[in-house]
Structure 1
């Protein structure tokens, strides 16, 4: 069951992300993994002051409510939150990966700024919505929206923590609910850091149940069953494990598929697998040819790249391009022609371009910037098709660098050797190599396929057909 749930996650959620229909919900477990306290730890001092152990209280929001009642205000509770949550812990790799995923919507009940800092580190725009009034603000073009539905450390006077806050949520922060319910209706949501004991999560689940009494849409939750080392006694572990199993089954009522892991250390790897599956939908056509060479070889490379662009569009994949001389524009032109002919209107979603700044006159190329762009293109792509790769006076060393970076990133290398230049050199290096050529972990064509793609008499149409067949074989997880 665990393997089946994981496979469903890796098949369906990346597809939802590619279709702009995937969103993420960040729970308390992610913040705890970064060094922030659990709810019970956060309110330990509050409980001690009241003569109650926070670990013995099932409803921790009630503990905050009792403190407010006893002290006559929320100042003490807010001071504890500021002291414990206001510090900056290192951003975990889980959030670094999430910040790179193509999602436009992230929900969280956490107060900290880990998500904001993860996005800032890669200079990706993020609109933070931490109060109901923020929902009326115009969205920044291209930005992901972060819905901090229970408030933020930046606005302590507006956080949800006490029983009153939960009971009056609809009155004070009710504008969040229709949007959350709309996302739960129309999107696939991945819950990361879901906790059985988190009162915030119980609130969200109740909203899901309220929205769908029957046949709820399917979402995913990465959860860790209680482990023996978490408890002092075998009996305590057995009791909590039984409780967890019942809870995991109960999640189905909310449309949640529980993807169980043995350790939180597995979460970064699982999210990186999701990122790789997203990349598997993307095909980078790499290559170049001098514009002042208008001979038959240049024409052959142009037509081949154009036809490959068409095949990528037919397969429903995303085209990635660095817009190199001749080859890049050719693949884009073929890709767009096929999409127009097919009546496809999602060009902005399925074309990723990172043009290389070109020096003119006496200017010199910024090699470091080019390498950085090549690394980004390698990370974004699952397959790299090499066409041509020639510069005035010889083989384009930049295309060779792209091949090396793509190999390091785990991309599938697909050189069309018949187009000459770097593609021919890359093909020769792969032929007979020890790199895996078959199965789920293949990162190169078989020797037979490499030979067919290097056949001098093969037409651009035939070369594009072979590339298409290989792309079908090494595509995203199916079935």
Structure 2
């Protein structure tokens, strides 16, 4: 993909994620990496029974499925058997499914029969509402996080799947509610199509209806295609022919406001999804720290600093994530909440995620395991982690806070940008000694490296750190 085109897409799609108007449409190609077949692979044995080649009939697969039913006295048993053979219900999601599931997307549409999207969402801790029949559309699972619309049915109900010409011809009658639902989402949300060939008659009908209704005012959507590759033994004429077909298909999609992003390998799709996730998370800041004492600084100065920092985080458009760090959170959260209500933009949960630790657990082993999962769940929502102070009271003495160290380790494991604020001392200073070599040798821009260096310079008063932290947040938030 051209770098500017990719940058523009990621920026726009992440904006839709923040606005909660992003959606995903998954085609068969998304599941191929897990060993599942695409339509050609599914129908190849059935085509062979008819004396045909599914590869050569790839533009007429719906008709091919119908021919098989016709040739077997209108018996669909062969189709149902192929579905059960090729789509095992115990298959696990691919990396791409897992990345999609972690994104804050509430609507997934698919023509796939498998259950990989649902499994990935459940693995991400989300409540999934799956719809593969019309009657299910009338009901909503309580507290659902995501809804998966399986417009062609589900592998566990093979007799109800959409596969033949008869099925498609009856679709507006039997499954018209899915058409209406997808039409509404295509009008109101920005879709990313993955693994989809756009040969589906139902989608053609829906897209055409939207185009005629909204003309030049339709919503922008995106799809990813693998660029035509030259194959071993393929003639130059055949290679050029396929290139022309792909170019024409891409141009035709423009009629429906679908912009195509080309990749050379499927690995690039994984990296694209990783980049979307990283970019989205970069606007969420996790702050770690605890303090029983504040070194040479007065407590009143630190309280003022933390209160102002909470305001700055919100002012700069970040969502703040934090546990109740001793000696830190009260002043920090007071400033953030004051700023949120002062701005009167959105809801408090759009700007702030605060969760107190479950402290009163008698069994130390159980408590430590629970706290680890608790920390991981909290930190995984952020893209940047800021570390300050890091001391606590233990047996009447002030010691370094091991919890801050643990949160740093989790942040590194989850690939967050870690920002220790060394002038606050204690564990934060210790972490900077660990972080400094990584920062200097990383792929960060020279501008960011210099901002890191300025942040770590000594400060006579904590208020001096506000402009330095602001600078780093601004730079990292734009990456």
- Whether TM-score is above 0.5 comes out as yes
Equivalent residues in 2 for 1:10-21 (5 A)? 10-21=10-21
Residue of structure 1 equivalent to 2:319 = 318
Task: Give SS of 1:286's match.
Answer: strand
| Shift in CA distance, 201/326, structure 1 to aligned 2, threshold 3 Å | farther
Residue of structure 2 equivalent to 1:456 = 460
Count of residues paired in the alignment: 472
1: distance between equivalents of 2:167 and 2:449?
53
2: distance between equivalents of 1:302 and 1:152?
56
> Any conservation in 2 of the 1:60–1:199 contact (CA below 8 Å)?
no
> Any conservation in 1 of the 2:183–2:206 contact (CA below 8 Å)?
no
- Is 2:62 the partner of 1:61? yes
- Is 2:193 the partner of 1:191? yes
2: distance between equivalents of 1:437 and 1:31?
33
Residue of structure 2 equivalent to 1:94 = 96
Residue of structure 2 equivalent to 1:214 = 216
- Please report how far the alpha carbon of residue 360 of structure 1 lies from its aligned counterpart in structure 2 after TM superposition: 6.4
CA deviation string 1:154-210 (max 9, x = no partner): 222321111122222221111122322222222211111122556666456445535
1: distance between equivalents of 2:444 and 2:270?
27
CA deviation string 1:422-465 (max 9, x = no partner): 223334555676354952895794312321xx403242xx4333
1: distance between equivalents of 2:260 and 2:186?
16
Q: What root-mean-square deviation, in Å, do the aligned CA atoms of Structure 1 and Structure 2 show?
A: 2.9
CA deviation string 1:83-134 (max 9, x = no partner): 2223543421000111111111111110001111212323321110111111
> Any conservation in 2 of the 1:301–1:388 contact (CA below 8 Å)?
no
Structure 2: which 5+ residue stretches go unaligned?
none
> Any conservation in 1 of the 2:89–2:155 contact (CA below 8 Å)?
no
1: distance between equivalents of 2:96 and 2:449?
25
Residue of structure 2 equivalent to 1:411 = 416
Residue of structure 2 equivalent to 1:141 = 143
Task: Give SS of 1:102's match.
Answer: coil
CA deviation string 1:275-312 (max 9, x = no partner): 1011111111111134x99x975544443333222112
Q: Please, which moves more after superposition, 423-432 or 343-352?
A: 423-432
Residue of structure 2 equivalent to 1:303 = 304
- Is 2:288 the partner of 1:286? yes
Counterpart pick for 1:242 among 240, 244, 248: 244
> Any conservation in 1 of the 2:24–2:109 contact (CA below 8 Å)?
yes
Equivalent residues in 2 for 1:166-205 (5 A)? 166-195=168-197, 202=204, 205=207
Residue of structure 2 equivalent to 1:346 = 347
- Please report how far the alpha carbon of residue 21 of structure 1 lies from its aligned counterpart in structure 2 after TM superposition: 1.3
- Please report how far the alpha carbon of residue 230 of structure 1 lies from its aligned counterpart in structure 2 after TM superposition: 7.1
Structure 1: which 5+ residue stretches go unaligned?
none
2: distance between equivalents of 1:61 and 1:146?
23
1: distance between equivalents of 2:210 and 2:451?
46
Q: Please, which moves more after superposition, 328-337 or 217-226?
A: 328-337
- Is 2:400 the partner of 1:398? no
Counterpart pick for 1:132 among 106, 131, 134: 134
Task: Give SS of 2:192's match.
Answer: strand
| Shift in CA distance, 297/151, structure 1 to aligned 2, threshold 3 Å | farther
Residue of structure 1 equivalent to 2:426 = 421
| Shift in CA distance, 370/211, structure 1 to aligned 2, threshold 3 Å | farther
Residue of structure 1 equivalent to 2:477 = 475
**TM-score, normalising length from structure 1?**
0.89
> Any conservation in 2 of the 1:358–1:365 contact (CA below 8 Å)?
no
2: distance between equivalents of 1:56 and 1:125?
42
1: distance between equivalents of 2:75 and 2:40?
20
2: distance between equivalents of 1:354 and 1:270?
31
1: distance between equivalents of 2:266 and 2:40?
19
> Any conservation in 2 of the 1:413–1:443 contact (CA below 8 Å)?
no
1: distance between equivalents of 2:176 and 2:260?
28
| Shift in CA distance, 123/470, structure 1 to aligned 2, threshold 3 Å | closer
